[in-house]
């Protein structure tokens, strides 16, 4: 399959390496970066120095900074940009006058609109029915290393999700299909917010018991919101729900967990984001999730606590005390 990977950040580069380096596949992969300077670096060094200095780009991987060139002969576009860049990338694709099937790998709710990625795609790339999301518990570095990873590809078009999942599936990158695009996207978005809370908990030294409780109740928040939006319960118990949540709340490679750790240490948010250097989707997503939950009357106390720290100047200690001081209730989703 001829695949255009749009976005040369960590996740895009990892997918491009994995899909083009796999000897069992017949994929012809082109990696697109929007910056000519970045392209020059990739071409001359055959390494994405900012994200993966230890992983050379496969010789077969093609590189370009021209979007029309990237998608000219592609049979599938994998859009792997932050949620903030999804709309603009889709608009640029539409302006090229060529419509091809698209799958996006971003996780979050769009700022200001609180829309999921598939809703953005419907507005900007409505001419293509074959589209979907690729998500799941996956650190980009481990995918680039070729370590075993399992993902879910979801689309309203079941035939499309099955076919593309089968095309992308390898022994190291296992891809399952789903028709629950709302559930998959919601799980991928909200888990980043819960991960910030997990980092705060760990940074304050609350221990494994507290982290397990937070993950479990965080999953309840994800599920409540996801069901309200039209997702399926089974999805939240699977790879893109519990699986992704557990990984990002416990793994040291999690950017959002690192944000929480630094918040617990008292670092100001602007300094944290500057030091991080990479996108932590949970930060902008938290505000949209809270707003959406209030509109839909979905109780999400952990998300509310995270937002109070990020945007209302509440200290991590005070936010935690407020959470711990809540009245006990019957455990439910």
> Percentage of the chain surpassing pLDDT 70?
98
Q: How do the domains of the chain map onto residue ranges?
A: 2-179, 190-324
Q: Which tens digit of pLDDT belongs to each residue from 64-73?
A: 999 999 999 9
156: its two tokens: 């309203």
191 is catalytic: yes
Dihedral of CA 164/282/261/13: which sign? positive
- Domain covering 190-324 in this structure, CATH number: 1.10.1040.10
Fold (CATH) for 2-179 = Rossmann fold (3.40.50)
Per-residue pLDDT band at 126 (split at 50, 70, 90) = confident
> Is 60 exceeded by the pLDDT of residue 263?
yes
Question: Could you tell me which residues are beta bridge partners of residue 174?
Answer: 150
CA atoms 197, 248, 256, 205: torsion sign:
positive
**Cβ atoms < 10 Å from Cβ of 268:** 10
Please give the helix or strand (H or E) that residue 78 lies within, else none: strand 76-79
Q: 24 falls in which pLDDT band (50, 70, 90)?
A: low
State in Å, rounded, how far the first CA of the chain is from the last one: 41
Catalytic residue among 191, 228, 297, 304: 191
Q: What is the pLDDT of residue 97?
A: 86
SS (H, E, C) 93-144: HHHCCCCCCEEECCCCCCCCCCCCHHHHHHHHCCCCCCEEEEECCCCHHHHH
Overall pTM > 0.85: yes
The per-residue pLDDT for range 196-226, each reduced to its tens digit, is: 999 999 999 999 999 999 999 999 999 999 9
């Amino acid at each position: 399959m001829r695949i255009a990977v749009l976005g040369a950040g960590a996740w895009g580069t990892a997918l491009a390496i994995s899909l083009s380096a796999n000897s069992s596949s017949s994929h012809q992969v082109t990696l697109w970066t929007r910056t000519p300077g970045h392209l020059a670096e990739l071409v001359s060094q055959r390494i994405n120095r900012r994200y993966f200095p230890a992983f050379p780009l496969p010789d077969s991987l093609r590189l370009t900074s021209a979007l029309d060139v990237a998608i000219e002969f592609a049979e599938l576009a994998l859009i792997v940009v932050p949620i903030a860049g999804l709309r603009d990338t889709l608009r640029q694709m539409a302006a090229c006058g060529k419509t091809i099937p698209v799958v996006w790998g971003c996780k979050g709710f769009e700022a200001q609109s609180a829309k999921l990625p598939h809703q953005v795609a419907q507005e900007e790339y409505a001419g293509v029915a074959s589209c979907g999301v690729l998500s799941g518990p996956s650190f980009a570095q481990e995918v680039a290393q070729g370590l075993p990873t399992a993902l879910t590809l979801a689309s309203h078009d079941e035939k499309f999700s099955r076919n593309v999942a089968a095309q992308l599936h390898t022994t190291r990158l296992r891809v399952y299909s789903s028709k629950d695009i709302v559930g998959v996207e919601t799980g991928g978005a909200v888990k980043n917010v819960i991960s910030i809370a997990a980092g705060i908990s760990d940074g304050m030294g609350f221990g494994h018991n507290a982290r397990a409780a937070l993950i479990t109740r965080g999953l309840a928040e994800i599920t409540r919101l996801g069901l309200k939006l039209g997702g399926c319960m089974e999805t939240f118990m699977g790879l893109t729900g519990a699986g992704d949540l557990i990984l990002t709340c416990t793994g040291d490679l999690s950017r959002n967990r690192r944000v929480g750790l630094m918040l617990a240490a008292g670092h100001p948010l602007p300094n944290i984001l500057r030091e991080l250097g990479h996108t932590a989707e949970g930060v902008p997503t938290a505000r949209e999730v809270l707003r959406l939950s209030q509109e839909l009357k979905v109780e999400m106390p952990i998300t509310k606590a995270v937002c109070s720290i990020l945007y209302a100047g509440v200290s991590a200690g005070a936010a935690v005390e407020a959470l711990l001081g809540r009245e006990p209730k019957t455990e439910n989703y």
